Structure formats: C-alpha cells, structure tokens
Homo-oligomer: A and B are copies of this chain.
Amino acid sequence: MTLPSFLSFKPRDFSLPNSSWGSEMMRMYDHYNSQCEVETEGGEKQEGKWRRLPSYNRLLKYATGGLYLSKMIQSNARLFTRHIRDPGAAFEYVLFVNSEEQKCVCIFQAGHLLEGPPGHVHGGAIATMIDTVTGTHATVLSGPVMTANLNINYRSPIPLGSTVLLESSLDKKEGRKTFIRCRVTSTDGSKLHSETSALFLSITVSHLLLGV
C-alpha cells in the first residue's frame, strides 16, 4: 500500500545536480559542496564554512500578495527562474552562502532558451540571476526584502551554454537598507562579465499586500 500522492508529495529541490549539468558546473558544485561539511581529526563531521541553499518553484504555495490576483494565476504561479521543466534548457544554478564572510556564490549554467544577442545570454536573464543571488543574499542577511535598485555594468557577453560564477558580498547595512555588490565572472575568475551594485529594502507582508 502506498500513501496518496498529496501526502507523500515532497517539493523538488532544483539546486541538486541533474543530468543536464556539464563538467564545469559539476566541478564547481563539488568544490563548494565539499566545504559544506568537514571532517575533524577525530573523524567527526561538522558544519563547514559554506552552506548550500535549496531552491523550489515558489516561496509560498498560495501567494499572499496581489490584491487582484485571479485564482488561475495563484494556482499556476511558478518562480520565474524555475519555471522551465526541461533540465538544462534555461536557468541551472545553485547558491552557497558563507555566513562568516557574509558572502554568497552562485554557479550558473545558462541554457539555450536564454538567448538575447545571437549565441549569447540575454541581458535580462543575467539581470535575473543577479537579482536572484543578491536578493537571496540580502534576505539571508536582513530577512524579507524587496529590490529597490539594480545598477548593472555589463562588461562582456556570456556565450549560451556556458557556466559562470556570481559572487555577492555585503557592502553595508543602514536601517532598512542592505547594499550588496555582485560580480559575474568566468569560473576561473579570469574574465569579468558584469559588475553590479544592488540595494534592497526590508519589508513586511503588508508591503506586498498593499503593493507599496
């Protein structure tokens, strides 16, 4: 006898490796993942300096926000970066946080559905990953936030299909404001793709309910 599917349902964690991940994506994943748990001299396991963040389709099953949100939209809504079911076609990424150094890294493999300029990743898809990484980082540091400003300097285009590294660091916190910086580079750090400064404002649920 098996449980009814709604009882056994467990949301899929998209930040775990799948068959679409190329060798560079896997190499970088292993690099950070191996630092999430370390073995002491006595053979005991303890937390490492990095922590992998799981990733799901949505933050909430039913949205609290959007006063005029229709039932159809509520029930079908999916997180923008996880809306494609075909592995490898769009955003493949995993985030790791380092609380001690107040840093966050994201390994991002850009799929064939993210095209902007011929053969390269759309500037909006890059902005989407930057918003995701800096916004997640700001949330880890400051609790619920909304993006207030993204100032992105694009330095060199990213070929479709390639794997890049996003590194986010805390600039400063001032009251409700959290300032984050983010660099997108090749995985060996030799090529700079973009530099961003981002500002996030701490919010309460009422900000989303009232849309202000």
Taking a contact as CB atoms under 8 Å apart, the answer to whether A124 and B122 are in contact is: no
How many of chain A's residues touch chain B, expressed as a range? 35 or more
- Inter-chain CA distance A90–B83, complex, in Å, is 9
Contact of A160 among B77, B124, B207 (CB under 8 A): B77
Contact digits for A98-126, partner B, Cβ 8 Å, 1 yes 0 no: 00000000000000111111111111110
Q: Which stretch of A38-46, A60-68, A173-181 is in the interface?
A: A60-68
Taking a contact as CB atoms under 8 Å apart, the answer to whether B146 and A79 are in contact is: no
Contact of A208 among B59, B117, B124, B154 (CB under 8 A): B117
What is the total number of copies of this protein in its complex?
2
Given A120-B65, A160-B69, A161-B66, A77–B115 Cβ distance below 8 Å? yes
Chain B residue nearest to A78 (CB atoms) is B113
A150 at the interface (CB under 8 A from B): yes
A74 at the interface (CB under 8 A from B): yes
Taking a contact as CB atoms under 8 Å apart, the answer to whether B211 and A65 are in contact is: no
Residues in B with CB closer than 8 Å to A55 are: none
- Inter-chain CA distance A81–B65, complex, in Å, is 24
- Inter-chain CA distance A63–B128, complex, in Å, is 23
Residues in B with CB closer than 8 Å to A207 are: 157
